[in-house]
Amino acid sequence: MEKDASFLFGGISFNRKKFARDFDRFKGKIQVDSAEKLNFIDKEDKTIDDSLEKVEFVENEISGMEDGTSTSVSKKRKRKEKGKVPDVEGFSVFKSSKLKEEAASEETDQSVNELLQGKKEYYQQLERDAIFRKMHNIHVSGSNIPSPLLNFSELRSRYECRSYLLRNLAKLGFKEPTPIQRQTIPVLLSGRECFACAPTGSGKTFAFVFPVLMKLKHTSKDGVRAVILSPTKELAAQTTRECKKLARKKFYIRLMTKQLAKSGDFSKLRCDVLISTPLRLKFAIQKRKLDLSRVEYLVLDESDKLFEPGMLEQVDFVVKACTNPSILRSLFSATLPDIVEDRARTIMHDAVRVIIGRKNSASETIEQKLVYVGSEEGKLLALRQSFAESLNPPVLVFVQNKERAKELYDELKLEDIRADVIHSDLSQIQRENAIDNFRAGKTWVLIATDVVARGMDFKGVNCVINYDFPDAAAAYIHRIGRSGRAGRSGQAITFYTEADIPFLRNIANVITSSGGEVPEWIMSLTKKKWRKHRPRRETISTQPDI
Ligand SMILES: Nc1ncnc2c1ncn2[C@@H]1O[C@H](COP(=O)(O)OP(=O)(O)OP(=O)(O)O)[C@@H](O)[C@H]1O
């Protein structure tokens, strides 16, 4: 075959004179191809190689311009055009048009040169961005993604951020943006929607609060202009506090309390940013005629939780109530399953996807351990033993449900450990007190259900104990993410019994993907597709059964 091919093509030379017209068309095609390449805009992840190739290409084009060998718009064309004009002496009209043509041609060259120079700078910027993103483990996809922030001062130089916001930021003691802030703040400031997934404790709250406050500019009497949805009341209250720390007195920032949802007169209430759980917000829209038609920014925090059955319907209701056609929506979470992304894509426009590190993985600052405890009884022994050996408060202990939270609390409250409990049967005030006391260090051990597993920022939690095995990998990631926040180190211990072994591999995968080690035999277990692993467990009690 090869021989045939070389025989067919060997010795053939192209007669340019004879096929001049075809040759010109072919040249034209090359020019179009080059132009297409110059107009190329990334659709997917920008890799360094990609950018380098484009910079190289444009550099060749420019040097081609300089030495006359460029394949795109070149001096050859100018010469060819020049050759077409009949050189008739004495006819000044022709002479002047010739001069004009030369001048015009030089102008074209200059503007093409400028265009290529602009393109070169553009690709060089892409290259710098790609290197910077790689350094900070930022992965992006989407078209025309703005450059990440090099530092907070770029908020002023690139986006004319008002000085009060930068002052408030400085008061918080933040020196550098975290990776998620570096990328999502410019994305949202440039008016783009986004999905963002970054590890627990990596500063996602400010990543969406900051651009919202920047874009709102001033307080207004127009009603609610930004809505932040959180899956729990505790998280909504925390986000409200964080938002107020940045905004101080410049905006009306409101938490949708039970009272407000039931009896607020929203036609009179000044509110720029409203933070709520989906249920309360839906209630206020239906019963209190809360108008969300002017909402410009909608943030779905812990978005995968908000998209779970049970909450999805309320979220959907809120999304539909935000009827402003130019609304910007964004989704943030430490876990972002593909199904959530796919659903969200159906409502979002030209969204940018930002992932920090590996999607759906735990924070690498947490040391993770799996501990076999045999049976339910074994758990209590293991817990007591671990407290006796080294109790390094604050410690957060997660159990499967509120009944078990009460049982464990009853077991521990008589001991010399300052323990407290939080679950959904407590009143709002009791829940707030439990959180405040834990934050203030008055409580050493907080026993909790998953109600505080997501988003809660307890500074300095040294250890998370999964007394009951989590019901999903995402629940595991969020629970243990209450420690090891904002770059601090933390520890996570997960007890498992025989009943949990089939699901061990799923947690083991999370551990290994965040750099931890897991015994070989666990890694050789088959990965089980799980849907809410919540086995019936024996009562937590050291009292003999009567
Ligand atoms: N640029 C920064 N520099 C230093 N600390 C920061 C910065 N941004 C945020 N923080 C702090 O990091 C901690 C964790 O932030 P945040 O609660 O926003 O995390 P998160 O990514 O939302 O976590 P989770 O997934 O658990 O909700 C907070 O105490 C916050 O004040």
When comparing pLDDT for 151 and 542, which is higher?
A: 151
CB 397 within 8 A of CB 412: no
- In the predicted structure, residue 1 carries a pLDDT above the cut 60: no
Tens of pLDDT, residues 193-208? 999 999 999 999 999 9
What is the pTM for the complete model shown?
0.79
Cα(419) to centroid of ligand 1, in Å? 26
Q: What's the average model confidence in pLDDT over 463-467? A: 97
Shortest-distance atom of ligand 1 to CA 235: 27
Of all residues in the chain, the percent with pLDDT exceeding 90 is: 63
Lowest-pLDDT range, 6-15, 63-72, 354-363, 425-434? 6-15
Of all residues in the chain, the percent with pLDDT exceeding 70 is: 80
Q: What is the pLDDT of residue 31?
A: 40
Residues of the chain with CATH 3.40.50.300: 122-356, 366-524
Element (H, E) at 249: none
Nearest 5°: the CA angle 46, 51, 54 is 135
Cα(130) to centroid of ligand 1, in Å? 24
Q: What is the pLDDT of residue 97?
A: 61
Nearest to 263 by CA among 280, 275, 278: 280
Nearest to 139 by CA among 206, 47, 72, 7: 47
| Confidence bin at 441 (pLDDT 50/70/90) | very high
Q: Which residues line ligand 1 (CB under 6 A)?
A: 174, 177-178, 181, 198, 200-206, 334, 455, 457, 459, 481, 485-486
Shortest-distance atom of ligand 1 to CA 481: 26
Q: What is the pLDDT of residue 82?
A: 46
- In the predicted structure, residue 522 carries a pLDDT above the cut 90: yes
Q: What's the average model confidence in pLDDT over 398-415? A: 93
What is the secondary structure of 68-114 as a DSSP string?
A: T--SSS-HHHHHHHHHHS---TT-HHHHHHHHHHHHHHHHHHHHHHH
Spatial distance between the Cα atoms of 373 and 423, rounded to a whole number of angstroms: 25
Cα(466) to centroid of ligand 1, in Å? 23
Cα(438) to centroid of ligand 1, in Å? 18
Q: What is the pLDDT of residue 29?
A: 39
When comparing pLDDT for 445 and 1, which is higher?
A: 445
Complex confidence, ipTM: 0.99
The dihedral of CA 202, 467, 386, 503: what is its sign?
Answer: negative
Best residue for ligand 1 mutational test, from 176, 304, 335, 457 (most atoms within 8 Å of Cβ): 457
Shortest-distance atom of ligand 1 to CA 180: 21
The segment with the largest mean pLDDT, out of 74-88, 195-209, 373-387, is 195-209
Shortest-distance atom of ligand 1 to CA 200: 25
Q: What is the largest CA-CA distance in the chain?
A: 125
CB count within 10 Å of CB 169 equals 19
Distance of CA 260 to the CA centre of its chain: 31
Q: What is the pLDDT of residue 46?
A: 45
State the residue for tokens 């609060």: 209
Q: What is the pLDDT of residue 71?
A: 44
CB 188 within 8 A of CB 330: yes
| Confidence bin at 531 (pLDDT 50/70/90) | low
Lowest-pLDDT range, 138-142, 148-152, 337-341? 337-341
Nearest CA to ligand 1 atom 12: 486
CATH homologous superfamily for the domain 366-524? P-loop containing nucleotide triphosphate hydrolases (3.40.50.300)
Distance of CA 251 to the CA centre of its chain: 25
* Tokens linked to 117: 């120079």
Q: What is the pLDDT of residue 459?
A: 81
Cα(15) to centroid of ligand 1, in Å? 69
CB count within 10 Å of CB 274 equals 27
Residue 11 backbone class (left: φ over 0; alpha: ψ -120 to 50; beta: rest): left
Q: What pairs with residue 445 in β-bridges? A: 395, 419
DSSP state of 148: P
Amino acid identity for residue 199 in this structure: P
Decide: helix, strand or coil at residue 297. Answer: strand
Helices 504-513 and 473-480: angle between axes, nearest 10 degrees: 50
Tens of pLDDT, residues 118-148? 888 999 999 999 999 999 999 999 999 999 9
Q: Which fold has domain 122-356?
A: Rossmann fold (3.40.50)
Q: What's the average model confidence in pLDDT over 211-216? A: 96
Shortest-distance atom of ligand 1 to CA 478: 26
Decide: helix, strand or coil at residue 15. Answer: coil
State the residue for tokens 């990440």: 148
Residue 453 makes CB contacts below 8 A (sequence gap 6+) with 398, 475, 478, 479, 482
Q: What is the pLDDT of residue 540?
A: 76
- In the predicted structure, residue 246 carries a pLDDT above the cut 70: yes
Nearest CA to ligand 1 atom 10: 203
Q: What pairs with residue 150 in β-bridges? A: none
Q: What's the average model confidence in pLDDT over 414-435? A: 92
Cα(208) to centroid of ligand 1, in Å? 11
Cα(89) to centroid of ligand 1, in Å? 79
DSSP state of 483: B
Cα(242) to centroid of ligand 1, in Å? 10
When comparing pLDDT for 28 and 282, which is higher?
A: 282
Best residue for ligand 1 mutational test, from 168, 169, 178, 230 (most atoms within 8 Å of Cβ): 178
Q: What is the pLDDT of residue 295?
A: 97
Q: What is the pLDDT of residue 57?
A: 54
Q: What is the pLDDT of residue 297?
A: 97
Q: Dihedrals φ, ψ of 545, to 5°?
A: -70, 140
- In the predicted structure, residue 216 carries a pLDDT above the cut 90: yes
| Confidence bin at 535 (pLDDT 50/70/90) | confident
Cα(295) to centroid of ligand 1, in Å? 25
- In the predicted structure, residue 284 carries a pLDDT above the cut 90: yes
Amino acid identity for residue 284 in this structure: A
Spatial distance between the Cα atoms of 443 and 453, rounded to a whole number of angstroms: 17
Residue ranges of the alpha helices (H) in 288-427?
303-306, 312-321, 338-345, 376-389, 402-412
Shortest-distance atom of ligand 1 to CA 174: 3
What is the 3-state secondary structure of 179-223?
HHHHHHHHHHHCCCCEEEECCCCCCHHHHHHHHHHHHHCCCCCCC
Best residue for ligand 1 mutational test, from 154, 206, 514 (most atoms within 8 Å of Cβ): 206
Best residue for ligand 1 mutational test, from 150, 202, 302 (most atoms within 8 Å of Cβ): 202
Distance of CA 355 to the CA centre of its chain: 5
What is the secondary structure of 485-510 as a DSSP string?
A: -TT--EEEEEEEEGGGGGGHHHHHHH
The mean pLDDT value of the chain amounts to 83
- In the predicted structure, residue 74 carries a pLDDT above the cut 60: no
